[in-house]
Amino acid sequence: MRSSIIRRRVTTFTILGVALLAGVIVSSAMGQYPIALVDVIRGFFAHFGLTDPPKDPVVDSTLWSIRFPRIVLGLMVGAALGVAGGVMQAVFSNPLAEPGIIGVSSGASVGASLAMVFAPAALAGFGVPLAAFISGLAAALLVYFLARSGGRAEVLTLVLTGIAVTAVCGAITSMATYVAPTTARDQIVFWQMGSLNGATWTQVATVTVIATIGIVWAWSIAPGLDALALGENAAGHVGINVQVLRISAIVLAALLTSAAVAYAGVIAFVGLIVPHVMRLAIGPLNRYLIPAAMLGGALLITLADIAARNLIPFADLPIGIFTALVGGPTFFVLLRHKLRLGSSV
Amino acid sequence: MALLVGALALGACGGPENEGVPSSPATQSGTMSDPHTMTGLTEAQSISDPTPLEGPITQQLPATVTDVEGQVVEVKRTERVLALDIYGTLSRTSISLGFGKNLVGRTVSSTENQLENLPVVTQNGHSLNVESILSLQPDLIIADRSIGPREAIDQLRSAGIAVVLVDSHRSLETNSELINQVAQAFGAPEAGEKLAERTEKEIDAALDQIEEWAPEKPLDGAFLYVRGTANVFFILGADEGAGALIGALGARDVATENGITSTTPANAESLVALNPEVIFVMSDGLNSAEGLDAILARPGISQTRAGANSRFVAIPDGMALSFGPQTGEALLSIARALYGVPGEE
């Protein structure tokens, strides 16, 4: 029994690692500016002095200013969203908790859209992500206090609270869209659909710092979250301050979500699908689930982005469309399953 | 950041050298530089108010007009008129026909000096405010479907106002037709014929002049719609008249050549693939994007030939795609900016 779960973990992490590497290579080789695989490889290693750079300087520039930052941003965003979903599900003791569903994403939209309308250039461009974080965190805390009874969040209460929070946040965002000048309106609309188009290294650096802090933090509280799964009392008995653990988990989930949405916009359902699939593969232990969700999220976004930027010539599709197309039905199946088992599960 | 700077430097030395073909010898305007090697931002001078037709206008009222959607409209009076479209073409056409003093309101797109003090009847960008229109007690409204919403037009019709809809396409080919439609709404078809003839003559003269300025090998141009600081920009295709404009300027529209017909949210890499050597933008769009440097910093722009040379032409918003009775004048103004011809004044 024990050896079989270990084998499954090893297999899962190996598959994830290989698939992610393959995904990144495919993603590097594909794009609307045609670049031969040879030139991609040469362009990549040339920056470390290992090969000669590609003959055409535009190729090098396209790779390093457009394609690579976008891929790295996608990896970071996906990892952050996957981990955020995993942590939220643990702290709500509910596999349906997901930033997009319980209202954190729409909460983040409120701050981001208000900032885009009223202070687009505040804090040297960091105004929008910071506002997204603050309002996303507020929405997460609100849902946490409203949906929880007796230490757990029931499925129906959680989903319904999410609907209520999303409705109010949606109204505020619409209001911001309504008063916005045309320039900000485009920005809000596209932000809500999510896209990795136009990623720069500055954005990558910001997101990487926040996501790394969040992911390390999440991993460090994973044993606590595992104890929490046994119930609040049991967790208290093994010396865990349950309140502190819960609050810090919410804060870090909001931190990761807002890091992800700050530049890439709302990309829903990644935090739902990825941890769920990983749980099926390797079981519910958070200390393994969280790194698996990190890799899985990065993989899902990488694949979705290959579609988003290659499907239609010259156009860039919003990546949120693809994750929602997969995520919506997954959510539905999960919800049916949970409700059939009885809402107290 | 260092990477980006490196990329810019690389792009800069890779760009123009393939374009060393000397252009046709300088024309009578003297010291003209080769348009292919020009760098930097040039701005087209905005055009003045349209000149009304000379001589008395023969007006036949009441007039029965069949508008572009087949509605039969009876125009009884033209004392109080609104000419409403997103481009500002209809108010300019009305003024050219000699009915400038009959206009009692305007849209934000009507930037003529003589209309400056008229009330604006659109809100929130380009949607019609029915009550403020009714309060102006117009006898006649000339509009097209570029402005809406649909219900507003229906409401105005049912309020008993003569509403004549005209074609919402703007191009060189539909110019005369549009002028005639407007003239018929005023019950002055002869004035329409005269204005159409004057316009065609001006356009022909402008095209002849532009042919002298244009180099033998046409410039590769693209029209980008940029608004605000969002990572969103659109490539304007043939449907918006961008292809017609660029063609009339003696350049080659790389978007139309690659089959882009409608406004496309641009994928950063696809812009590199299009690789225009000059990029047209609207002046207000450029300002709202915080200037040329901010646009150049966006992935995808700096890798193009136009980006490497900062080769941009800014066109005042109302002038870019509105065509109409001042097409010739507008073309000359933009062509001067494009080919570096000193202005007349």
User: Does the pLDDT value for residue B5 go beyond 60?
Assistant: no
For a pLDDT cut of 90, what percent of chain A falls above it?
A: 27
Mean pLDDT of B8-20: 36
Distance (Å, whole) CA A89 – CA A153: 10
Burial class of A8 by CB neighbour count within 10 A (0 to 12, 13 to 18, 19+): middle
Provide the chain B residues 121-180 that lie in CB contact (below 8 A) with chain A: 124-125
Sign of CA dihedral B210, B213, B218, B221: negative
- Closest chain A residue to B285, measured at CA: A183
- Is A190–B303 a contact, with Cβ atoms under 8 angstroms apart? no
Mean pLDDT of A36-50: 86
Q: Which amino acid is at B133?
A: I
Would an 8 Å CB–CB cutoff place A44 in contact with chain B? Answer: no
pLDDT in tens, B85-101: 988 999 999 999 999 99
A136: left (phi over 0), alpha (psi -120 to 50) or beta: alpha
Of A105-109, A276-280, B288-292, B335-339, least confident by mean pLDDT is: B288-292
To the nearest 10°, report the CA torsion of B124, B129, B131, B137: 130
Would an 8 Å CB–CB cutoff place B9 in contact with chain A? Answer: no
Query: Which residue from B3, B231, B235 is facing A201, i.e. has the nearest CB?
Result: B3
Would an 8 Å CB–CB cutoff place B89 in contact with chain A? Answer: no
In A, which residues are within 8 Å of B302 by CB distance? 61, 65
Distance (Å, whole) CA B97 – CA B192: 7
What global pTM score does this model have? Answer: 0.78
Among A125, A306, A286, CA closest to A218: A286
User: Does the pLDDT value for residue A207 go beyond 50?
Assistant: yes
Q: Which amino acid is at B203?
A: I
Would an 8 Å CB–CB cutoff place A124 in contact with chain B? Answer: no
pLDDT in tens, A238-272: 888 888 888 888 888 888 988 888 888 888 888 88
Q: Which amino acid is at A12?
A: T
> Under a CB-based contact definition with an 8 Å cutoff, are residues B117 and B141 in contact?
no
Confidence of residue A236 (pLDDT cuts 50, 70, 90): confident
> Under a CB-based contact definition with an 8 Å cutoff, are residues B277 and B36 in contact?
yes
Distance from CA of A183 to the nearest CA of B (A): 5
Confidence of residue B231 (pLDDT cuts 50, 70, 90): low
* B188 contacts: CB under 8 Å, gap ≥ 6: B57, B58, B59, B60, B97
Per the prediction, chain A carries an average pLDDT of: 86
**DSSP element (H, E) containing B178:** helix B175-185
pLDDT at B226: 83
Confidence of residue B134 (pLDDT cuts 50, 70, 90): very high
Q: How many CA atoms lie within 13 A of A301 on its CB side?
A: 32
Distance from CA of B51 to the nearest CA of A (A): 32
Helix (H, G, I), strand (E, B) or coil at B140: strand
pLDDT at B202: 95
Work out whether strand B72-75 and strand B63-66 pair parallel, antiparallel, or are unpaired.
Answer: antiparallel
Distance (Å, whole) CA B121 – CA B237: 29
> Under a CB-based contact definition with an 8 Å cutoff, are residues B98 and B123 in contact?
no
Of A52-61, B13-22, B68-77, B304-313, least confident by mean pLDDT is: B13-22
pLDDT at A228: 85
Residue with more model confidence, A156 or B144: B144
User: Does the pLDDT value for residue A123 go beyond 80?
Assistant: no
Confidence of residue A158 (pLDDT cuts 50, 70, 90): confident
Residue with more model confidence, A92 or B186: B186
Confidence of residue B84 (pLDDT cuts 50, 70, 90): very high
Distance (Å, whole) CA B83 – CA B94: 7
User: Does the pLDDT value for residue A338 go beyond 80?
Assistant: no
In A, which residues are within 8 Å of B10 by CB distance? 57, 60-61
pLDDT at A262: 80
- The number of residues making up chain A comes to 345
Among A250, A221, A203, A216, CA closest to A91: A250
Provide the chain A residues 203-262 that lie in CB contact (below 8 A) with chain B: none
Distance (Å, whole) CA A51 – CA B90: 60
What does the H/E/C string look like for chain A?
Answer: CHHHHHHHHHHHHHHHHHHHHHHHHHHHHCCCCCCCHHHHHHHHHHCCCCCCCCCCHHHHHHHHHHHHHHHHHHHHHHHHHHHHHHHHHHHCCCCCCCHHHHCHHHHHHHHHHHHHHHCCCHHHHCHHHHHHHHHHHHHHHHHHHHHEECCEECHHHHHHHHHHHHHHHHHHHHHHHHHCCHHHHHHHHHHHHCCCCCCCHHHHHHHHHHHHHHHHHHHHHHHHHHHHCCCHHHHHHCCCCHHHHHHHHHHHHHHHHHHHHHHHCCCCCHHHHHHHHHHHHHCCCHHHHHHHHHHHHHHHHHHHHHHHHHCCCCECCCHHHHHHHHHHHHHHHHHHHHHHHCCCC
- Is B298–A191 a contact, with Cβ atoms under 8 angstroms apart? no
User: Does the pLDDT value for residue B9 go beyond 70?
Assistant: no
Distance (Å, whole) CA B104 – CA B135: 11
- Is A197–B235 a contact, with Cβ atoms under 8 angstroms apart? no
Would an 8 Å CB–CB cutoff place A48 in contact with chain B? Answer: no
Copy the structure tokens of residue A5. Answer: 């779960």
- Is B268–A60 a contact, with Cβ atoms under 8 angstroms apart? no
- Is B232–A190 a contact, with Cβ atoms under 8 angstroms apart? yes
User: Does the pLDDT value for residue A344 go beyond 50?
Assistant: no
User: Does the pLDDT value for residue B83 go beyond 90?
Assistant: yes
φ and ψ at residue A269, rounded to 5 degrees: 75, -10
Would an 8 Å CB–CB cutoff place A57 in contact with chain B? Answer: yes
Distance (Å, whole) CA A323 – CA A195: 11
* B289 contacts: CB under 8 Å, gap ≥ 6: B226, B227, B228, B229, B295
- Is A190–B300 a contact, with Cβ atoms under 8 angstroms apart? no
In B, which residues are within 8 Å of A263 by CB distance? 231
- Closest chain B residue to A63, measured at CA: B269
> Under a CB-based contact definition with an 8 Å cutoff, are residues A262 and A209 in contact?
no
pLDDT at A137: 86
Of A144-153, A268-277, A290-299, B152-161, least confident by mean pLDDT is: A144-153
pLDDT at B227: 75
User: Does the pLDDT value for residue B223 go beyond 90?
Assistant: yes
Confidence of residue A290 (pLDDT cuts 50, 70, 90): very high
User: Does the pLDDT value for residue B30 go beyond 50?
Assistant: no
Residue with more model confidence, A345 or B294: B294
> Under a CB-based contact definition with an 8 Å cutoff, are residues B109 and B83 in contact?
no
- Is B299–A200 a contact, with Cβ atoms under 8 angstroms apart? yes
Distance (Å, whole) CA A137 – CA A107: 8
Which of A121-130, A291-300, B27-36, B336-345 has the highest mean predicted lDDT (pLDDT)? A291-300
User: Does the pLDDT value for residue A168 go beyond 90?
Assistant: yes
pLDDT at A152: 65
Burial class of A150 by CB neighbour count within 10 A (0 to 12, 13 to 18, 19+): exposed
User: Does the pLDDT value for residue B210 go beyond 60?
Assistant: yes
